[in-house]
Structure 1
Amino acid sequence: MVPTDREAVRVHEGMLAILLTGGVAPQTAAWAIDGLLPYVASYCRELPIVGRRSTRDDTAWVLDRAELRR
């Protein structure tokens, strides 16, 4: 996915710099970013949900349709 704003470019370039500094080949690093960024984004979206759920009494991870839509 091509970065579409300044912040996305900053994140892409930062991750690329880390991988290249770690000795990863440029083409491999570029492919790795395509896989890593969706993982990182998903993790960041899920983390607040986990925190909110851990403070409530119900510990069920299954959401009903209404809660999922909210």
Structure 2
Amino acid sequence: MSNEEKRQEAASQVDDDDEPDDWDKRIFSTGCSVENAKMTDCYYDKKDWRACKNEMEAFRECWKRHGNEQRTSSKDT
């Protein structure tokens, strides 16, 4: 494979990576993708869910505001 072919293949892989996958589509459909990103970023940074209570609560409130609990049949425990 020539260098030009390798560059074209790499460029096409980057383009494919820009497309939302099934997970992204599901999160975007909830209306809470921003809150989800903040929550997962917090966990990534701190490695402790207990340190991310504010982010988790913001996500939970967003989830309720958008009616996702009926859609997914989740229950508060």
Report the TM-score when normalising by structure 1. Answer: 0.30
Work out which structure has the larger RCO, using CA pairs closer than 8 Å and 6 or more positions apart in sequence.
2
Q: Which of the pair has more CA radius of gyration? A: 2
Pick the structure with more helix per residue: 2
